[in-house]
């Protein structure tokens, strides 16, 4: 099926972008740092929470677009370990918003065969939030479509600490005195074990930082930073990111197809 049909898009800007997309070369895992809700609200003289409400709408649309295009995995950075430094009222609002979102959207997530996963130190989340995410993960556990991963109370360094401790526990428990860890051991003990590493990391609001997000997993990810604030990150802007991703040449430290040396131009053949 063509991308325009998958998205049932009628907007000419979107159609033009969809026509450029190769559905077979979409990122296998898209990770997004959703940034700029507060600034979006401030610019409109609204309270910060209005920016978060607008951000949820965009998250919903982004999830739908990725699922329709059959992106295998999408990770959204919803709440970091550092976000506890925000005012209590804002934290409580974000937690409420997440529960509201789950309550409203879970039936449609499930109907669309999406599997919901939550990564982060969930034991430190409020009881009610934990209850709702466990219920959502249980309900969608057998779904075979897109994996929607919500990073909640997440920190990349904390994830590595948790992985190392899990490895050490296993070594002690099984008395593996000659054990040597390798990259696979570490990957398999991260919260994201079994998922492909992100090939595309999107960050909104123009900040040039990775903010402790998926530190191990983004080793080879293409970075796409847009000035758009998260509540303005429309479907068209997401498609622009995908088109841009497909125009990049990914070399993983080797030589690219357009590199002259590969064609013998610098290799002494001529
Ligand atoms: C950044 O804006 C956003 C967050 C702290 C995360 C909250 C995300 C949402 C409400 C989107 C909803 C997601 C799901 C999965 C339902 P900011 O407050 O850091 O903005 P600022 O940098 O402009 O202050």
Q: Is the pLDDT of residue 42 over 70?
A: yes
What would the pLDDT profile of 199-218 be if each residue is shown by its tens digit?
Answer: 999 999 999 999 999 999 99
Please give the number of the atom of ligand 1 that sits closest to the Cα of 48: 18
Mean pLDDT over the full length of the chain: 93
Q: What is the DSSP letter of 84?
A: G
Q: Which of 19, 83, 212, 259 is flagged as catalytic?
A: 83
Catalytic residue among 35, 132, 197, 199: 35
Q: Is the pTM of this model over 0.85?
A: yes
For 125, half-sphere exposure in the C-beta direction (CA atoms, 13 angstrom radius) is 24
Q: Where are the alpha helices (DSSP H) in the chain?
A: 3-7, 12-20, 37-43, 48-69, 88-111, 127-140, 156-173, 183-188, 235-247
pLDDT of residue 257: 66
Q: Name the residue ranges covered by the structural domains of the chain.
A: 27-247
Q: Of 42, 78, 93, 119, which is best to mutate to test ligand 1, by the most ligand atoms within 8 angstroms of its C-beta?
A: 78
pLDDT surpassing 70 at residue 145: yes
pLDDT of residue 213: 98
Whole-angstrom Cα distance, residue 20 to residue 80?
35
The dotted CATH code for 27-247 is 3.40.1180.10
Q: What is the pLDDT of residues 251-267, one digit of tens each?
A: 777 877 655 444 333 33
How far CA 222 is from CA of 27, 29, 32, 52, 210, in Å, comes to 10, 11, 12, 26, 12
19 is catalytic: no
What is the position in ligand 1's atom list of the atom closest to the CA of 55?
Answer: 11
- Around ligand 1, the residues with Cβ closer than 6 Å are 34-39, 52, 55-56, 59, 76, 78, 83, 94, 97-98, 101, 150, 230
The dihedral sign for the CA sequence 156, 158, 160, 163: negative
83 is catalytic: yes
Q: What's the gap in Å between 184 CA and the centre of ligand 1?
A: 32
Residue 231 Cα to ligand 1 middle (Å): 9
């Amino acid at each position: 099926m063509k991308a325009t049909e998958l998205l049932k898009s009628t907007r000419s800007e979107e159609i033009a972008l969809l026509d450029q997309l190769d559905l077979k070369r979409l990122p296998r895992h898209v990770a997004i740092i959703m940034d700029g809700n507060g600034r979006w609200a401030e610019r409109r003289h609204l309270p910060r929470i209005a920016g978060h409400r607008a951000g949820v709408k965009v998250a919903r649309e982004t999830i739908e677009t990725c699922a329709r295009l059959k992106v295998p995995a999408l990770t959204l950075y919803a709440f970091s370990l550092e976000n506890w430094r925000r005012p209590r009222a804002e934290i409580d609002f974000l937690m409420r918003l997440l529960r509201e979102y789950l309550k409203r959207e879970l039936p449609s997530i499930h109907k669309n065969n999406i599997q919901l996963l939550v990564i982060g130190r969930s034991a430190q989340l409020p009881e009610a939030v934990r209850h709702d995410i466990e219920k959502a993960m249980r309900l969608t556990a057998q779904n075979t479509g897109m994996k929607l991963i919500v990073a909640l109370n997440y920190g990349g360094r904390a994830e590595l600490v948790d992985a190392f401790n899990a490895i050490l526990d296993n070594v002690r428990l099984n008395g593996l005195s000659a054990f040597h860890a390798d990259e696979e051991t570490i990957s398999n003990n991260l919260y994201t074990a079994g998922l492909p590493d992100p090939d595309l990391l999107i960050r909104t609001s123009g900040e040039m930082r990775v903010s402790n997000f998926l530190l191990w997993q983004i080793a080879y990810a293409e970075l796409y930073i847009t000035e758009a604030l998260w509540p303005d990150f429309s479907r068209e802007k997401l498609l622009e990111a995908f088109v841009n991703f497909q125009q990049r040449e990914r070399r993983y430290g080797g030589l690219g197809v357009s590199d002259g040396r590969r064609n013998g131009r610098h290799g002494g053949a001529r």
